Amino acid sequence: MIKRKSKYWLLITIFIAVAIVFFIKEKNKTDSFFLKDENYTKIEPNSKESCLDCHSNTKGYSNYHNPDLIGCASCHLGNTSSFNKEESHKGMVLIPGNLVDAKQTCGKCHPNELHKIENSLMTTNSGLVAVDKFIFGEAESPNNQYHIKLIENSAADKHLRDLCANCHLGAEKKDFGPITQLSRGGGCNACHLNYSENAKNDLNTYLTSNKKELPKTHPSTDIFVKNEHCFGCHSRSSRISTNYEGFQETMLDEDEVKNKDGYRVLEDKRVYKFIEEDVHHTKGMLCIDCHSSHEVMGDGIKYTHEEQAVKIQCSDCHFKDKPNTISYDSLDTESLLVFLHRNYKHNDKQIIAVKKGGHPLVNTYIDSIGNAYLIGKKDSKIHPLKPQSEVCSRDNVHKNVSCSSCHSSWTSRCIGCHNEFDKDEPRAFDLLDRKYGKGQWKEYVAEFSSSLPAMGVRENSEGKHIEPAVPGMILTIDKGSYAGKEIGKEVSFHRLYAPNSPHTTISKTRDCKSCHSNSATLGYGKGVLFYEIKNNKGTWKFVPEYANNENDGLPEDAWIPFLGKTPKGVINSTRTDFRPFSIKEQQQLLIVGSCLECHKDNSKIMNESLIKGFNYVLAKKTKACILPNWN
């Protein structure tokens, strides 16, 4: 009997222990949002809030923003102790998340993220302001720190207000509704607001009923960011979003492309034509599959230019030997939140961490035999991450050439831009203050086109690297028109290329000639670049596609003179650490181009040059090899 009783109590004890463990795990599933971190605030459920007396049986909330968990006032504020409509709505924020009130709403639970956002480039627009003021002659450097909300009314400031200041997170979202192509700003809403179809329908019913029929479906505030959230701002300027989807802007009107295949009209009526989409877009990957919260929201440091803020590199996922990794137990709070919200299961595996900055890509993991995978945030599809190709990893010559220089299929080009102030414009709209006034800067573009990226040299403390470049600002600015002078009396001309990340990645690399004997790549502009051999002497010659610009005598789309350099004192880049090829570098590139006139890309001798260096190849040249004459 005693033995039986002992066994009985032992079974009871085991059952209770298992039940406790199960309870803790289940509790953690719902309470895991409230991490043990002093920088995060736990909001206790408030069953006494009066909001749900009128707004009852609503649905659509994300798991972690459900009123049952955090109440309504955590986001919307207001007086939750009153059941009177007017009194309960006092102090209420109808659209929470705008940066003007984020400290009282989103920032109560997410102070770290708010701090990062407030210092991010998407909020400050520092680089945009810096380059514009530099080009207008109002600053001595394009590297000064600015905040778009603090600009005043100089010629450059007014130029920004009229043409550029729409795209910053501080711009308030004042109307109900989902994020669209026309959306700009909205603070936290810009990325985290999602309307389901039911939420859209209920909102429409609410508005058409003169706001009498209350919506039953609330929009969701969550981490499920779609490309549509990025599109509104990033389809402007360098047009990363449209490039990624394969579309290039045109000068066409909507009526000109009706019923034509390969064209797309955006909500703002700009017309785009299809060229070739990024391979990552083809596979269904979202922007945030690569650009995680650590990049999108920033790291709290104030940067001037986007290349300083962006830490991820192609080689982080497409590594040469072994990836840089981090364990689940070492994840920071922000990364752990994303991991939990997305219900990932690979907490027993190593996770890729970017080498620059060290932040983790929580949607990646390494299996037991060293294979790497990425979980698509759009559809949870598992994407194998291929290491660098054998060609890339063994190439000793192109180590300082960025991946995007070779793997981008095309990039946008914009030339012949003229900026002029119309003092008589009666309905000038200030994009920053969101109000109408009189007098406005207007921009007239001559041509949109595309080509393989040009290349430039990034030279700073991190070394010397070749990166894609675009003719970002080949333009004239009639500064006199803003000062009230006669049109055309005080015009400045600028020929500035800008570093560019095209986001038109393809698996296949561009061929050797497209770099070593392509005029646009080398900075001369489009045209015919050919190698002529006469009397046993080789000479490179160039016939430009565009006529010379009267301001500086260079072809309209050029960056530098053919086999020449920019005159001393002339600024030709939007960055102080980015420049065109020097004469010596042009010659080095064209020597290889002359060899490619006879030797194919995949020939034995050219393959040897990648491994052993080009001097090795030159030492083996024969009398049949005619190298360029630079005299």
The predicted-structure confidence for 374-424, as pLDDT tens digits, reads as follows: 999 999 999 999 988 877 766 678 889 999 999 999 999 888 999 999 999
Say which residues have a Cβ less than 8 Å from residue 308's Cβ, sequence separation at least 6: none
Q: How far apart are CA 404 and CA 314, in angstroms?
A: 8
In this model, does residue 256 exceed pLDDT 70? Answer: yes
Residue 336: pLDDT band with limits 50, 70, 90: very high
Specify the pLDDT at position 170: 95
CA 88 remoteness from chain centre: 41
What pLDDT is attached to residue 251?
Answer: 94
List the domain range (segments joined by +) for residue 256: 227-282
On whether residue 91 sits in a domain, the answer given is: no
Read off the pLDDT of residues 170-200 as tens digits, 9 standing for 90 and up: 999 999 999 999 999 999 999 999 999 999 9
Torsion 406-412-416-417 (CA) sign: negative
Q: Which residues pair with 443 in a beta bridge?
A: 419
User: Do both 406 and 383 map to the same domain?
Assistant: no
Q: Is residue 614 part of a domain?
A: yes
The answer to whether residue 306 sits within a structural domain is yes
Stretch 436-460: mean pLDDT, rounded? Answer: 94
Residues 567, 468 within the same domain: yes
534 pLDDT above the threshold of 70: yes
Determine the Cα–Cα distance for residues 417 and 442; give it in Å rounded to an integer: 10
Same domain for 343 and 417? no
pLDDT of residue 45: 53
Most confidently predicted of 392-406, 510-524, 601-615: 510-524
4 confidence band (pLDDT: 50, 70, 90)? very low
Tokens 């406790």 -> residue: 20
Exposure string for 409-419, b = 16+ CB within 10 A, e = fewer: bbbbbbbbbeb
Indicate whether 86 belongs to any domain. Answer: no
pLDDT of res. 19: 41
Q: Which of 333, 354, 387 corresponds to the end of one domain?
A: 387
- Segment 297-325 mean pLDDT: 94
Of residues 236 and 159, which shows the higher confidence score?
159
Lowest mean pLDDT among 221-230, 414-423, 607-616: 607-616
In a domain? residue 601: yes
Last residue of one domain, picked from the residues 354, 371, 387: 387
297 shares its domain with 434: no
Say if 441 falls within a structural domain: yes
Q: Flag whether 498 is in a domain.
A: yes
**335 and 295 in one domain?**
yes
Kindly report, residue by residue over 142-156, the tens digit of the pLDDT: 999 999 999 999 999
Whether residues 586 and 445 fall in one domain: yes
Residues 492 and 361 in one domain: no
- pLDDT surpasses 90 at 268: yes
Q: What is the pLDDT of residues 89-106, one digit of tens each?
A: 999 999 999 999 999 999
pLDDT given at position 22: 40
pLDDT score for 5: 46
Q: Are residues 559 and 500 in the same domain?
A: yes
Residue whose pair of structure tokens reads 């939007």 in the numeric block: 574
Nearest-angstrom CA–CA distance, 49 and 496: 58
What percent of the chain stands above pLDDT 90?
A: 77
Same-domain pairing of 406 and 423:
yes
**pLDDT band at 622; cut points 50, 70, 90:** confident
DSSP code of residue 151: -
- Quick check: pTM over 0.85? yes
**Domain count across the chain:** 3
Contact 46, 75 (CB under 8 A): no
The amino acid at residue 553 is G
Q: What is the mean pLDDT of the chain?
A: 90
Q: Report whether 333 contacts 341 (CB < 8 A).
A: no
Same domain, 360 and 374: yes
Query: Using one digit for the tens of pLDDT, what is the confidence trace for 43-81?
Result: 555 457 899 888 988 999 998 899 988 999 999 999 999
Q: Please say if the pLDDT value at position 371 is more than 90.
A: yes
Q: Look at residue 20 in the predicted model and tell me its pLDDT.
A: 36
Mean pLDDT score, 201-218: 95
Mean pLDDT of 576-605: 93
**12 or 351: which leads in pLDDT:** 351
- Examine the fold and report which residue of 387, 418, 447 is the final residue of a domain before the chain moves on: 387
- For residues 238 and 331, membership in a common domain is answered with no
* pLDDT (0 to 100) of residue 620: 84
Average pLDDT over residues 150-172: 95
Same-domain check for residues 603 and 572: yes
pLDDT, residue 611, reads: 82
Instruction: Identify the pLDDT of residue 47.
Output: 58
pLDDT confidence of residue 398: 87
Q: What mean pLDDT is predicted for residues 507-511?
A: 90
pLDDT band at 528 (very low <50, low <70, confident <90, very high): very high
